[in-house]
Structure 1
Amino acid sequence: MPNLSVKLDEAMRQRLHDIAMQEGVTPHALMLRAIGHELDRAEAEGAFVRRALQARQRVEASGMAIDGLAFDAYLRARVRGASAQRPTPQDIGKPESKEPDA
């Protein structure tokens, strides 16, 4: 496995050592776990942004969207266990295509 050097100031190195000791792991193991968590978080955030952009493209292409307040009321009713009809998409119109200036 290739090595990777990480330079830490003394305060962070001490924090790393203290937390590793509290958790009964080596500083190396704690760093690997922390890096893994951050990579997982960054990948999940990237996937969330990609899904949001795809949803936006679908709305722009179709011109249809569900009213946010109506969907909020629907979700709140469902959480309370009440029966509620899911709001239907409304026509918000397709955005006008922008032609480049001549």
Structure 2
Amino acid sequence: MTTEVGLISALPPTLGPLSKPLFKGKTGNIFKAGTIGGGLLLPLLLRLGWKLTRKSTPVSLNRGASLLILAGGLILRYIWIVAGRASADTTEDVHHYNALEWHEGNC
């Protein structure tokens, strides 16, 4: 989960202006709350808290954390598609992507 948080934090510099639909607006709020908050950070903190107390993790907590992770993954896939479509509908983003592709093809 920590690796996924690190990879998601690397998205804005990697995608540049193409990441705007992923982190802004309604889709951005769903992504931040559902995937990052509920699907990654909350289960990570729950499990870390139990590890620090050195008690065995209750089965119900493991199941709940696992369901949160699955829901976060589902939200990630949904938002990735929705944000990609939104980016494809924006003329500036299409021009930016085409310029990147053209530059990489000629290097």
Name the TM-score class by shorter chain. Answer: 0.3 to 0.5
TM-score with structure 1 length normalisation? Answer: 0.37
Structure number with higher relative contact order (C-alpha < 8 Å, ≥ 6 residues apart): 2
TM-score with structure 2 length normalisation? Answer: 0.35
Q: Which one has a bigger Cα radius of gyration?
A: 1
